[in-house]
Chains A and B, each alone.
Chain A
Amino acid sequence: MIPGLGGRNSLPFAIPARFLLTGALAFCLAWSALLFNPNLLLGSVREPAVLALVHTLTLGFATMILVGAMHQLVPVLLITNLHAPRWGNVTYGFLLAGALCVIFGFLAGYQLWLILLGGGLELLGLLLFNLNLYLTNKTATQKGAVSHAVLAAAGYLSFTVLLGLLNAAARASPALGRLLGDITPLHLSVGLFAAFMLAIAGAGHKLLGMFTLSHHAKAWPLTALIYLIHAAVALLLLDALLHAGLWRAAGIFFAAAGGLYSYDTYALLKGRMRRRLETPLRGYLGGSLFLLLSLCLALAGAWSAAVFSVLAGFIPLAIAGMLVKVGSFLAWQHRYAAQVGKTAIPMVRDMTVVQLSALSQWGIGLGAFTITCCLLWPSQFLATLGSALATLGAWSLLLHLLWISFGKHPAKPKAPSAHLKGHTP
């Protein structure tokens, strides 16, 4: 048995599926809650209810899905078995309990003890996950830029939560607050760019190449992106100590990393064999536009809109696109792999519904754009429209995942290959 491909340590479907479905549900709940109170977008972004929304999107949605997907992806990248697949259940418990405590801590009007408890649980879950990845990495038979990016992103997820925890602790202890200063920008930058963008760039490099049959893209843009992000985080940490205005240089590094991400995506697409892009992949690419929009908004000094452009547009679109592909692959393996050759079974793509993919992507994309506009030009109409579109997109995504996981998929006839004669004995 080749490592990473089964055996005693093979990953049960329920482990990643639990993370992915919980993440998609959190995404729905976040936007549905906003739909019931769109005026939240018209007030301060530091309002506890807005922070609850932001943490539902980051901890409930993005972190859950990235951690769930990494359980499957990392062994494939490293060509080895996950050290302890069942630790995933414990990680899931910590992350779920942690996210709920943090979100309800904000909703209850900034209950610090609940936020600290939630942050602690979240950190424990992520540390356990990182330990699992570290021990897996020790048995790796192959390493490269993609695995470096994904493992570093997992480390930055823990660091982001630690910074959030320190931020909350600083509110409880004025002495600690004076010592640390305002680390909210650091918490936000590390989370959005070092954790989420790096994870998306790393996983995207592998998955986009795989799904479009593009095998000629070089690894250097991704490698350079990783080191730019490490350098940007180092600069931000130095700035937190020295207050020397280094955050500007860090911002330039993050922007350059975003540029490299776009270039890497372009290079992969340019060398692809499958010219027609599947709907989920088009959504993934649509996410890149929000990264560009965010850069323009940041240059114009519209910080809240820039952050929401990444949080509501880039991250969800990139994640949703790959989620449909990865989810259908996982579900196929769980439901149909054992029946291969015995009975007619669907292909992986027969498990997805193009219309649901398109609806979720357009809903998420247009919703994120409208919400970004609402932060620039506050209006109740834009707030309601944006949250309604995002809610539609989110529920379509969840419905699609449920169909992929549990639906009755048609076994369509395979592409005719009997007429293909291609081999030379």
Chain B
Amino acid sequence: MMQTAIDITEMNASASAEAIIEALKAVYDPELGVDIINLGLVYGLTIVGENVQLLMTLTTPGCPLHATIEQDVLRNLEKVPGVGWIDVQIVWDPPWTPERITEEAKKQLYWL
């Protein structure tokens, strides 16, 4: 089954990547009703000690939900044990395409 790749780097990580990704599954795109992990919006995750840097995108450049989603990401990551400083970077390159959606979410979205 095709799955969405997230580039993960861990160095002396005090929080696990799995816990962080699980927390990000609580961040939803309010239009599509699917979380940002299964939408494939997260490109990269770097954990150095308790510092977390998240590289992500949105479904469309200039999406007005930028601030809302970023706040929700911060709020959810703050709850993860071992996470201290958080940096969320939103990028448009490479642009997001629906191919990044996980197969399960594609099935869910197909008739949504």
A interface list, Cβ under 8 A from B: 1-2, 4-6, 72, 75-79, 142, 206, 210-211, 213-215, 273-276, 329, 332-333, 336-337, 340-341, 347-349, 414-415, 417-425
Q: Tell whether, in the assembled complex, residue B33 and residue A414 are in contact, meaning their CB atoms are under 8 Å apart.
A: yes
Q: Tell whether, in the assembled complex, residue A423 and residue B4 are in contact, meaning their CB atoms are under 8 Å apart.
A: yes
Residues on A with beta carbons closer than 8 Å to the beta carbon of B104: 419-422
Tell yes or no: B94 within 8 A of A by CB. Answer: no
With A and B bound together, what is the CA distance between A211 and B112 in angstroms? 11
Q: Tell whether, in the assembled complex, residue B62 and residue A77 are in contact, meaning their CB atoms are under 8 Å apart.
A: yes
Give the contacting residue for B112; candidates A5, A6, A214, A415; CB below 8 A.
A415
Could you tell me which residues of chain B, from 49 to 107, have a CB within 8 Å of some CB in chain A? 59-68, 71-72, 75-76, 90, 92, 97-98, 101-106
With A and B bound together, what is the CA distance between A425 and B47 in angstroms? 13
Residues on B with beta carbons closer than 8 Å to the beta carbon of A420: 25, 35, 37-38, 102, 104-105, 108
B interface list, Cβ under 8 A from A: 3-6, 8, 17-18, 21, 25-28, 30-35, 37-38, 42, 59-68, 71-72, 75-76, 90, 92, 97-98, 101-106, 108-112
Q: Tell whether, in the assembled complex, residue A347 and residue B59 are in contact, meaning their CB atoms are under 8 Å apart.
A: no
Residue of chain B at shortest CB distance from A273 = B98
Residue of chain B at shortest CB distance from A416 = B108
Q: Tell whether, in the assembled complex, residue A422 and residue B4 are in contact, meaning their CB atoms are under 8 Å apart.
A: yes
Which residue, of A72, A206, A340, A347, has the highest number of chain B Cβ atoms within 10 A?
Answer: A340
Q: Tell whether, in the assembled complex, residue B64 and residue A72 are in contact, meaning their CB atoms are under 8 Å apart.
A: yes
Residues on A with beta carbons closer than 8 Å to the beta carbon of B110: 273-276
- Nearest-neighbour CB distance to chain B for A336, whole angstroms, equals 8
Residue of chain B at shortest CB distance from A3 = B62
Residues on A with beta carbons closer than 8 Å to the beta carbon of B63: 5, 76
Rank and list the top 3 A-B pairs by shortest CB-CB distance, nearest first.
A422-B102, A5-B66, A79-B62
- Nearest-neighbour CB distance to chain B for A259, whole angstroms, equals 27
Q: 9 A-B residue contacts at CB 8 Å?
A: A79-B61, A206-B60, A213-B101, A329-B64, A340-B68, A417-B108, A418-B25, A420-B38, A424-B3
Residues on A with beta carbons closer than 8 Å to the beta carbon of B109: 213, 273-274
With A and B bound together, what is the CA distance between A101 and B65 in angstroms? 39
Residues on A with beta carbons closer than 8 Å to the beta carbon of B75: 340-341
Which residue, of B62, B76, B101, B102, has the highest number of chain A Cβ atoms within 10 A?
Answer: B62
Q: Tell whether, in the assembled complex, residue A2 and residue B90 are in contact, meaning their CB atoms are under 8 Å apart.
A: yes
* A275 with B68, Cβ < 8 A, contacts A422-B3, A422-B4 known: no
Residue of chain B at shortest CB distance from A422 = B102
User: Could you tell me the dominant secondary structure of chain A's interface residues?
Assistant: loop
Residues on A with beta carbons closer than 8 Å to the beta carbon of B105: 417, 420, 422
Q: Tell whether, in the assembled complex, residue A5 and residue B34 are in contact, meaning their CB atoms are under 8 Å apart.
A: no
Q: Tell whether, in the assembled complex, residue B6 and residue A417 are in contact, meaning their CB atoms are under 8 Å apart.
A: no
Give the contacting residue for B103; candidates A210, A337, A348, A422; CB below 8 A.
A422
Give the contacting residue for B72; candidates A6, A273, A340, A417; CB below 8 A.
A340
With A and B bound together, what is the CA distance between A422 and B63 in angstroms? 24
Residues on B with beta carbons closer than 8 Å to the beta carbon of A340: 30, 68, 71-72, 75
With A and B bound together, what is the CA distance between A72 and B63 in angstroms? 11
Residues on B with beta carbons closer than 8 Å to the beta carbon of A332: 30
Q: Tell whether, in the assembled complex, residue A422 and residue B38 are in contact, meaning their CB atoms are under 8 Å apart.
A: yes
Residues on B with beta carbons closer than 8 Å to the beta carbon of A336: 30
- Nearest-neighbour CB distance to chain A for B30, whole angstroms, equals 5
Residues on B with beta carbons closer than 8 Å to the beta carbon of A75: 62
Q: Tell whether, in the assembled complex, residue B64 and residue A142 are in contact, meaning their CB atoms are under 8 Å apart.
A: no
Residues on A with beta carbons closer than 8 Å to the beta carbon of B26: 341
Q: Tell whether, in the assembled complex, residue B108 and residue A424 are in contact, meaning their CB atoms are under 8 Å apart.
A: no
Residues on A with beta carbons closer than 8 Å to the beta carbon of B28: 347, 414, 417
With A and B bound together, what is the CA distance between A288 and B35 in angstroms? 34
Give the contacting residue for A333; candidates B33, B68, B71; CB below 8 A.
B68
With A and B bound together, what is the CA distance between A2 and B75 in angstroms? 19
With A and B bound together, what is the CA distance between A423 and B26 in angstroms? 15
Residues on A with beta carbons closer than 8 Å to the beta carbon of B76: 341
With A and B bound together, what is the CA distance between A205 and B67 in angstroms? 25
Residues on B with beta carbons closer than 8 Å to the beta carbon of A414: 28, 33
Q: Tell whether, in the assembled complex, residue A2 and residue B66 are in contact, meaning their CB atoms are under 8 Å apart.
A: yes
Q: Tell whether, in the assembled complex, residue B33 and residue A215 are in contact, meaning their CB atoms are under 8 Å apart.
A: no
With A and B bound together, what is the CA distance between A228 and B90 in angstroms? 37
Which residue, of B67, B71, B75, B105, has the highest number of chain A Cβ atoms within 10 A?
Answer: B67
Give the contacting residue for A423; candidates B30, B33, B37, B68; CB below 8 A.
B37
Q: Tell whether, in the assembled complex, residue B67 and residue A5 are in contact, meaning their CB atoms are under 8 Å apart.
A: yes
With A and B bound together, what is the CA distance between A419 and B25 in angstroms? 10
Residues on A with beta carbons closer than 8 Å to the beta carbon of B34: 415, 417
* Extra inter-chain contacts (10) besides given A340-B68, A420-B108, CB under 8 Å: A213-B101, A273-B110, A337-B65, A340-B30, A414-B33, A417-B108, A420-B25, A422-B102, A423-B5, A424-B3
- Nearest-neighbour CB distance to chain B for A276, whole angstroms, equals 5
Residue of chain A at shortest CB distance from B42 = A423
Residue of chain A at shortest CB distance from B107 = A420
Give the contacting residue for A4; candidates B6, B62, B71; CB below 8 A.
B62
